[in-house]
Amino acid sequence: MRKVCVLLALAACLWVAGCFWVAHEPAAGPPTSETVAVTILHVNDVHGQTEPYRLKGRSVGGYARLATLVDEERAASKAARVFLIHAGDELSRGDDLTRATLGAANMAIMNHLKFDIYLPGNGDHYDGPDVLLAMLRRAKFPVLSANVTVAATGEPIGKPYIIEQAGPVRVAFLGLCLVKADHESSALYIMDYPFTVAEKLVPELRKQADVVVVVSHLGALKDVELAELVPGIDVIIGAHSHTGMPEGVRMKGPDGREVLIAQAGEQLRFLGKVGLTLGRSGGAWRLVSKSAALIPIDAAVRLDPTVTALIARLSAAAPKPKEPRLAEPEPAGVP
């Protein structure tokens, strides 16, 4: 019965950013005097909206504002490490700068912000692998994709996972991508079923890491299914459904583990923030608590002058927007 309620609640806000649902369920974990904090900042479905824009009469979004918030979070954090993650869809339906440079300018901006991970979304695949790989080669940070390869060459789009150190704690990030079967670009890629890939890789990561985070571009409903079906996952950083989750969604995995699902809406309206606290128990690090929040990216946030100037330089140097070879405008409300 609870699963049905979860699915209905998520379905109600699946296509509308800003519709929220959360299940309150306390995180399990024994108290301990020795603790380590880890912070995950995340965005998704930016769709190449590099500068602020008007939404219902308000100015929102923009990478210059995101830069200010990220700098503030990093400076104020007492965590062992602060990760910054983009869960996909940067190239598709982008602004003039994005389309003119086919994502090259976006990668320059993201490099400046020092992102830690990028996961290609379904829209990033629309222009074909040549355009996508050219964009991703500019990234100075890991690109994750455990389940998508180029059909013609078998070349993976990215690394299946990475394991990063946060003080004494090891954090594994697994990337699960989506290629839309009904889009003409799908013939250019091979997408392995993400749940099957997760079932294979998550147990391996559990042996190597203290925390397992799945970065997913599958959508909120699929993330709920993933949490309930695949044991060993601690956190899912989601995308694709453009769902805002101000406190996250908490599910119980098949092994009894609590799984926190977080997603930050779309087009840089919010910066998502996940906080993890681990304590040492029996010689191993175990999660004591998890939290999720959304930070508005609006006119109250100062525009970072360096990023504003960077975008201006990139725009001045950009050619006229190129027409996408495979991408087409998508129907309203379809991510």
Answer whether residue 193 is part of any domain.
yes
Structural domains of the chain, count:
1
Answer whether residue 3 is part of any domain.
no
- Residue 167 domain boundaries: 38-315
**Residue 128 CA from chain centroid, whole number:** 21
Contacts of 310 (CB under 8 A, 6+ apart): 108, 109, 112
Task: Spell out a b/e string for 261-298, using b for 16 or more CB atoms within 10 Å of the CB, else e.
Answer: bbbbbbbbbbbbbbbbbbbbeeeebebbbbebbbbebb
Q: What pLDDT, on the 0 to 100 scale, is given for residue 32?
A: 54
Task: Decide if 40 contacts 87 (C-beta within 8 A).
Answer: no
pLDDT one-digit tens code per residue, 122-181 = 999 999 999 999 999 999 999 999 999 999 999 999 999 999 999 999 999 999 999 999
Beta bridge partners of 252: 258
Rounded mean pLDDT, 91-113 = 96
- Pick the range with the lowest mean pLDDT from 6-15, 154-163, 179-188, 237-246: 6-15
Residue with tokens 């990215």: 158
Q: What pLDDT, on the 0 to 100 scale, is given for residue 28?
A: 45
Q: What pLDDT, on the 0 to 100 scale, is given for residue 281?
A: 86
Answer whether residue 326 is part of any domain.
no
Compute how many other C-beta atoms are within 10 angstroms of the C-beta atom of residue 238: 32
Q: Which of 157, 113, 109, 166 is nearest to 134 (CA)?
A: 157
Answer whether residue 329 is part of any domain.
no
Answer whether residue 324 is part of any domain.
no
pTM summary value: 0.90
pLDDT one-digit tens code per residue, 279-296 = 998 889 999 999 999 999
Checking if the pLDDT of 332 tops 70, the result is no
Checking if the pLDDT of 37 tops 60, the result is yes
Answer whether residue 11 is part of any domain.
no
Rounded mean pLDDT, 300-323 = 91
What is the distance between the alpha carbons of residues 186 and 266, in angstroms, rounded to a whole number?
23
pLDDT one-digit tens code per residue, 187-211 = 999 999 999 999 999 999 999 999 9
Q: How confident is the model at residue 324 (pLDDT cuts 50, 70, 90)?
A: low
Answer whether residue 13 is part of any domain.
no
Q: What pLDDT, on the 0 to 100 scale, is given for residue 1?
A: 45
Q: For the chain, give the percent of residues with pLDDT over 70.
A: 86
Checking if the pLDDT of 335 tops 50, the result is no
What is the distance between the alpha carbons of residues 27 and 268, in angstroms, rounded to a whole number?
28
CATH of the domain at 115: 3.60.21.10
Q: How confident is the model at residue 19 (pLDDT cuts 50, 70, 90)?
A: very low
Answer whether residue 239 is part of any domain.
yes
Rounded to the nearest 10°, the torsion over CA 222, 223, 225, 229 is 130
Q: What pLDDT, on the 0 to 100 scale, is given for residue 320?
A: 77
Q: Counting beta carbons within 10 angstroms of the beta carbon of residue 236, is it exposed (0 to 12), middle (13 to 18) or buried (19 or more)?
A: buried
Compute how many other C-beta atoms are within 10 angstroms of the C-beta atom of residue 320: 8
